[in-house]
Amino acid sequence: EIVLTQSPATLSLSPGERATLSCRASQSVGSQLIWYQQKPGQAPRLLIYDASTRATGIPARFSGSGSGTDFTLTIGGLEPEDFATYYCQQRLRWPITFGGGTKVEIK
């Protein structure tokens, strides 16, 4: 099973600041890495697939990078609606696995 480790667990930032979230895989997943955003009481929302491709309707301030085992989600200038929990997911091998999440909270 491919284990995804997200860091930090919590990120405390102010609106307008840049957020950098990390996802590390226990073995290479190539570029088959996906990012989701989840707000309390809501289902996850697809943000990024194939490590760096934004899903339809996702603002340009969200960007993904990385390949192999190290991946980064960057939010360039936090808007109030961006404070949420973010999860990475790999689709290379069964079982599909998710990281433990990074909560981006208001400082």
Partner 1 sequence: EVQLLESGGGLVQPGGSLRLSCVDSGFTFSSYVMAWVRQAPGKGLEWVSSITSGGDYTFYPDSVKGRFTVSRDNSQNTLYLQLSSLRAEDTATYYCARRGVGVAFDYWGPGALVTVSS
- Binding site residues, partner 1, CB under 8 A: 32, 34, 36, 38, 42-46, 49-50, 53, 55-56, 87, 89, 91, 94-101
- DSSP lists the bridge partners of residue 12 as 105
Q: Provide the minimum distance between the beta carbon of 73 and partner 1 in the complex, in angstroms, as a whole number.
A: 14
Residue whose CB is less far from partner 1, 25 or 97: 97
Residue whose CB is less far from partner 1, 3 or 77: 3
Please name the residue that has the structure tokens 């307008």. 16
Q: Provide the minimum distance between the beta carbon of 43 and partner 1 in the complex, in angstroms, as a whole number.
A: 4
